[in-house]
Amino acid sequence: MPVQKLDATTLQSLRCPDGKKKEVYRDTTIRCFCVEVQSSGTKTYALKYRNKYDDQCQFKISRVGDITFAEAKKKASKVLGIVSIGGDPAEQREVDRVIPTINEPPDQVPRIRTYVQA
């Protein structure tokens, strides 16, 4: 994993080496912030950290191009703040995906009995 100062201009020159599926470039200014470059050319902002169980986790922020580099660094700083106080944003994201919403079809939402049978 190459470590270098990442900014908007160096982001354009990042490439995945031949023969590899992906390459992760870590930033020197924000701890745990990185850019993952796929062999297809797709680039993703991410944050690699260790959770409270000392497992390595990855929180993908966004694809490069969907948000600016400054916005990605701002989001990384917020997520790193959550991690530093013992939170696990990747685990929270999984929990949020499981919670049913009103927009889901009724057959996928569990039925709640609103009456008591005598």
* pLDDT confidence of residue 77: 92
- Determine the Cα angle at 23 with ends 20 and 27, to 5°: 165
Enumerate domains of the chain plus CATH numbers: 3-100 (3.30.160.390)
Euclidean distance between CA atoms 82 and 6, whole angstroms: 22
The reported pLDDT for the residue numbered 91 is 80
Q: Of 24, 31, 33, which is closest to residue 2 (Cα–Cα)?
A: 24
Would you give the DSSP letter of residue 111? P
pLDDT digits (tens, 9 = 90+) for 8-24: 889 888 999 999 999 99
Q: What is the mean pLDDT of each run of 10 residues along the chain (118 residues)?
A: 87 90 92 92 92 87 93 92 86 75 62 65
